[in-house]
């Protein structure tokens, strides 16, 4: 497939792996931020091509996983209400709240629909003026512009029956939380290519300088990730700490200015609780006052409660890179994708779910692995 298969070439992958092995001397820990990257790494076995001195740590970059239980509970309550059409991205449906998930609401008769874009939800609202349509706005900076566009479109159309539950989160504050922690083990970052497609990478420059870590904006295909790792390793070996861009075919330093303007027009930054990590200051987006009419939480009076997360779940340590998924005692026993205890087991992009799916028993393939 054009523009994809070129980035999955075994021969080139082998050459990158050799170059990485040749460049590495010290033990380095590199964190890939985005869940999409974690998925590729585990799916293609990229970490198996790397030398022992190099450890990949899977970061908190799965927006589905980090959506707090409280927000899922609000979604469940909204979706259960008479007359509401609740629209969500597919992988939010199985995320457990404290008592139920959206899949359960659907099977109990709730009108829960999977959409591919918030614009689909706007269209449903337009075509069903007698129904209330709520969109579950989940995602990082990547999906925020489209959510903003949906609000603006709904306003333009004068739709009084469209609203959203906003769970958007921002990547840099989470990276900062990890770096500023006393127990930080991360030596370098692969920044999330899609987030940077929207936001550019200027905002990472002060962080790289302040904490003395190299940050490489990286794509999602196997060769992107291998090249990103190589660039990061070379910086670590040289002792440099700059922001570099591997994903040049998509990302620019300034990002997509129009998309950023849209986000700023519709949303404002707010504190947000992350599943597994707790509340991170200035790490979420909420609707500006001008667009408060589109706030489903306010419109239908849901929210305001707090939920304790499972004690046996070590999601926080996994997301901070202190342990690998398999090192959690609940992994694969008490906690499985069918009955997840914590964030990273929830979505296919979560580190625990990716490990469970692709390597539940360690090393497949025997001698060839």
Rank residues 29 and 359 by Cβ distance to another protein and give the closer one.
359
Using DSSP, state whether 58 is helix, strand or coil. Answer: strand
Using DSSP, state whether 285 is helix, strand or coil. Answer: strand
Using DSSP, state whether 186 is helix, strand or coil. Answer: coil
Which residues, other chains included, contact 33 with Cβ-Cβ below 8 Å and sequence gap of 6+? Answer: 59, 60, 61, 171, 174, 175, 189, 190, 191, 192, 195
**Could you say whether residue 165 binds another protein (CB under 8 A)?**
no
Rank residues 99 and 368 by Cβ distance to another protein and give the closer one.
368
**Could you say whether residue 324 binds another protein (CB under 8 A)?**
no
**Could you say whether residue 92 binds another protein (CB under 8 A)?**
yes
Per the CB < 8 A criterion, the answer to whether 112 and 79 are in contact is yes
* String of contacts with another protein for each residue 2-21, x by CB under 8 A: x-x---xxx--xx-------
Q: Pick one of 54, 201, 349, 351: the residue that binds another protein (CB under 8 A).
A: 349
* Residue list 47-66, contact with another protein (CB under 8 A): 48-49, 63-64
Rank residues 218 and 235 by Cβ distance to another protein and give the closer one.
218
Rank residues 108 and 212 by Cβ distance to another protein and give the closer one.
108
Q: What is the spatial distance between Cα 40 and Cα 205, in angstroms, rounded to a whole number?
A: 26
**Could you say whether residue 366 binds another protein (CB under 8 A)?**
yes
Which residues, other chains included, contact 290 with Cβ-Cβ below 8 Å and sequence gap of 6+? Answer: none
Angle between helices 144-157 and 118-127 (to 10 degrees): 20
- Paired strand residues for 167: 138
Q: What is the DSSP string of 219-282?
A: -SSHHHHHHHHHHHHHHHHHT---EEES-TTT--SS--HHHHHHHHHHEEEEEEEETTTEEEEE
* Residue list 128-157, contact with another protein (CB under 8 A): 138-140, 142-143
Q: Pick one of 20, 30, 31, 46: the residue that binds another protein (CB under 8 A).
A: 46
Minimum gap (Å) between residue 91 Cβ and another protein: 5
**Could you say whether residue 181 binds another protein (CB under 8 A)?**
no
Q: What is the spatial distance between Cα 34 and Cα 346, in angstroms, rounded to a whole number?
A: 15
* String of contacts with another protein for each residue 269-308, x by CB under 8 A: ----------------------------------------
- Environment class of 303 (CB within 10 Å of its CB; exposed 0-12, middle 13-18, buried 19+): middle
Token digits of residue 82: 């008479």
**Could you say whether residue 45 binds another protein (CB under 8 A)?**
yes
Minimum gap (Å) between residue 59 Cβ and another protein: 15
Which residues here bind another protein, judged by CB under 8 A?
Answer: 1-2, 4, 8-10, 13-14, 35-36, 42-46, 48-49, 63-64, 89-94, 103, 114, 116, 138-140, 142-143, 194, 222, 336-338, 347-349, 356-366, 368-369
């Amino acid at each position: 497939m054009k523009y994809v298969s070129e980035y999955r070439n075994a021969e080139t992958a082998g050459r990158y792996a050799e170059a990485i092995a040749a460049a590495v001397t010290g033990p380095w820990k590199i964190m890939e931020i985005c869940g999409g990257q974690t998925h590729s790494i585990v799916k293609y076995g990229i970490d198996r091509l790397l030398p022992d001195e190099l450890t990949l740590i899977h970061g908190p970059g799965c927006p589905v996983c980090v959506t707090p239980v409280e927000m899922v509970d609000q979604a469940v309550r909204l979706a259960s209400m008479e007359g509401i059409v609740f629209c969500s991205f597919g992988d939010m449906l199985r995320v457990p709240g404290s008592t139920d998930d959206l899949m359960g609401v659907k099977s109990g008769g709730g009108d829960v629909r999977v959409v591919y874009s918030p614009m689909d939800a706007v269209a449903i609202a337009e075509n069903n003026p007698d129904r209330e349509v709520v969109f579950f706005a989940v995602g990082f900076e990547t999906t925020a512009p489209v959510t903003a566009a949906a609000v603006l479109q709904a306003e333009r159309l004068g739709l009084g029956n469209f609203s959203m539950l906003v769970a958007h989160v921002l990547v840099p504050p989470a990276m900062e939380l990890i770096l500023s922690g006393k127990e930080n083990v991360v030596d370098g970052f692969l920044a999330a290519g899609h987030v940077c497609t929207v936001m550019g990478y200027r905002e990472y420059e002060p962080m790289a300088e302040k904490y003395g870590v190299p940050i490489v904006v990286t794509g999602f295909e196997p060769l992107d990730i291998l090249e990103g790792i190589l660039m990061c390793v070379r910086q670590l070996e040289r002792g440099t700490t700059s922001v570099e861009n591997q994903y040049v075919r998509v990302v620019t330093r300034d990002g997509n200015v129009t998309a950023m303007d849209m986000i700023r027009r519709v949303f404002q930054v707010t504190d947000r609780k992350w599943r597994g990590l707790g509340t991170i200051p200035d790490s979420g987006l909420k609707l500006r006052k001008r667009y408060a009419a589109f706030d489903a939480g306010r419109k239908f009076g849901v929210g305001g409660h707090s939920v304790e997360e499972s004690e046996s779940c070590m999601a926080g340590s996994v997301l901070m890179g202190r342990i690998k998924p398999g090192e959690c005692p609940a992994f694969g026993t008490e906690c499985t994708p069918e009955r997840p205890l914590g964030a990273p087991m929830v979505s296919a992009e979560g580190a625990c779910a990716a490990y469970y799916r692709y390597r539940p028993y360690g090393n497949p393939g025997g001698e060839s692995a």
